[in-house]
């Protein structure tokens, strides 16, 4: 059974969500997020730099949420949540999956790290710069979505899971309004039964 080490409202929601979409059984463990625990010898054995999430599946251990999503879909998806490699949409699936993490979420993460490192002495210029970068991503997403229901059109995919968690992080840490198409898209994402089950599973621990 898949085991996911998670901390509330972090990227660990991604592998939980994909398991819920595929109706896979998994075990969820909410960890102590203190540096003492995350950098303990026990935790560093499964997460070499003390980060969450961590996912274990048999002898496989992973520490990157995007890789977890792709791994679970590839191994257990049976054609769901990802276009076949020869499908023209496969390239868009990959592109928007990594855009969500490497381009969009990275700017949000810089804001979070800055506030965490300097809780009483925020440099507003630094925060403003990364907000500007995040907002440029939102404008690009807004244009791409247009009237689409999901990133790949009519079919929900793992790319939407990747983007959805990045958007919820923006909501929590940036607290600025979304462009219209993005706002409607996030509303659809967070109304999905699998997302609601994901949040319920997190809240029960």
- Total structural domains within the chain: 2
**CA–CA gap between residue 204 and residue 172 (Å, rounded):** 20
Residue whose entry in the numeric block shows the structure tokens 């002898």: 59
Do 109 and 186 sit in the same domain of this protein? Answer: yes
Q: Which residue has the higher pLDDT, 154 or 116?
A: 154
Q: Over the range 158-189, which residues count as b (16 or more CB within 10 Å of their CB) and which as e?
A: bbbbbbbbbbbbbeebbeeebbebbeebbeeb
Do 55 and 119 sit in the same domain of this protein? Answer: no
Q: Is the pLDDT of residue 15 over 90?
A: yes
**CA–CA gap between residue 205 and residue 202 (Å, rounded):** 6
The domain that contains 10 carries what CATH number?
3.40.30.10
Average pLDDT, the chain: 95
Q: What is the pLDDT of residues 65-94, one digit of tens each?
A: 999 999 999 999 999 999 999 999 999 999
Give the three-state DSSP class for 43: helix
**CA–CA gap between residue 181 and residue 31 (Å, rounded):** 35
Q: Which residue has the higher pLDDT, 95 or 122?
A: 95
Do 73 and 101 sit in the same domain of this protein? Answer: no
CB 33 within 8 A of CB 52: yes
Q: Which helix (H) or strand (E) holds 2?
A: strand 2-6
Domain around 157: 89-192
Do 73 and 115 sit in the same domain of this protein? Answer: no
**CA–CA gap between residue 24 and residue 136 (Å, rounded):** 36
Q: Over the range 46-55, which residues count as b (16 or more CB within 10 Å of their CB) and which as e?
A: ebeeebbbbb
Instruction: Read off the tokens for 27.
Output: 């075990």
Do 187 and 101 sit in the same domain of this protein? Answer: yes
Report the DSSP pairing between strands 60-62 and 26-30.
unpaired
Q: Supply the pTM of this predicted model.
A: 0.94
Do 127 and 42 sit in the same domain of this protein? Answer: no
The domain that contains 125 carries what CATH number?
1.20.1050.10
Report the DSSP pairing between strands 54-57 and 2-6.
antiparallel
Report the DSSP pairing between strands 26-30 and 2-6.
parallel
Q: Is the pLDDT of residue 50 over 90?
A: yes
Do 111 and 156 sit in the same domain of this protein? Answer: yes
Do 13 and 59 sit in the same domain of this protein? Answer: yes
Give the three-state DSSP class for 69: helix
168 φ, ψ (degrees, to nearest 5): -70, -35
């Amino acid at each position: 059974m898949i085991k996911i080490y998670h901390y509330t409202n972090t990227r660990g929601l991604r592998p939980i969500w994909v398991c819920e979409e595929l109706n896979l059984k998994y075990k969820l463990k909410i960890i102590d997020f203190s540096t003492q625990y995350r950098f303990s010898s026990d935790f560093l054995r499964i997460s070499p730099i003390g980060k969450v999430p961590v996912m274990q599946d048999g002898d496989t251990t992973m520490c990157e949420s995007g890789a977890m999503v792709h791994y679970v879909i590839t191994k257990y998806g049976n054609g769901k949540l990802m276009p076949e490699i020869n499908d023209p949409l496969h390239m868009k699936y990959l592109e928007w999956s990594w855009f969500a993490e490497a381009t969009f979420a990275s700017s949000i993460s810089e804001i979070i790290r800055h506030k965490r490192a300097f809780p009483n002495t925020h440099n507003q210029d630094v925060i403003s710069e990364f907000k500007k970068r995040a907002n440029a991503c939102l404008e690009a997403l807004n244009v791409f979505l247009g009237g689409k229901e999901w990133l790949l059109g009519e079919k929900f995919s793992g790319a939407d899971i990747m983007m959805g968690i990045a958007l919820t992080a923006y909501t929590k840490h940036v607290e600025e309004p979304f462009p219209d198409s993005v706002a409607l898209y996030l509303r659809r994402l967070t109304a999905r039964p699998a997302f609601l089950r994901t949040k319920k599973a997190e809240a029960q621990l």
